[in-house]
Amino acid sequence: MTGNSKWTLGNLKYQSETDVYRSIIQIVIPADKFNDTTNSSYNSSNPFINDRYISEVAIVLTDSATNIDVPMIYAKIAPAVRKTNILDIIFQLKLDF
């Protein structure tokens, strides 16, 4: 990518060049997995809450020494996607860096 810019002070103009990389990652969420939540305000006995939604995903690396997951990429999904127990969901995450 190449762009022309103006310096904020004076009459100086410059041209900058940047390399942009894109990675596409597919995240598969099986129908029989991730059917619970870590949201402490969620109450499963509430009759008004019948559906579950996916509103965020994270890509984690697992430390082999401690077996602890460390989040590396975190993404919010808007609008949230309704989760069912019969259909697999595939998200395609595009990262520009």
Question: How high is the mean pLDDT in each 10-residue block of the chain (97 residues)?
Answer: 60 75 89 78 79 85 88 87 89 86
Tokens of 62: 């697992």
For residue 3, being part of any structural domain is answered with no
For residue 16, being part of any structural domain is answered with no
For residue 44, being part of any structural domain is answered with no
For residue 88, being part of any structural domain is answered with yes
Query: Comparing C-alpha atoms, which of 31, 85, 13, 91 is closest to residue 57?
Result: 91
Query: What pLDDT sits at residue 88?
Result: 92
What is the number of structural domains in the chain?
Answer: 1
For residue 31, being part of any structural domain is answered with yes
Query: What pLDDT sits at residue 69?
Result: 87
Instruction: Quote the domain boundaries for residue 67.
Output: 21-35+49-97
Q: What does each C-alpha distance from 38 to 33, 41, 54, 95 come to in angstroms? A: 14, 9, 12, 26
Question: How many Cα atoms within 13 Å fall on the side-chain side of residue 36?
Answer: 2
Query: What pLDDT sits at residue 37?
Result: 75
Whole-number Å distance between alpha carbons of 21 and 96: 6
Can you give the pTM of this predicted structure?
A: 0.60
Whole-number Å distance between alpha carbons of 6 and 35: 51
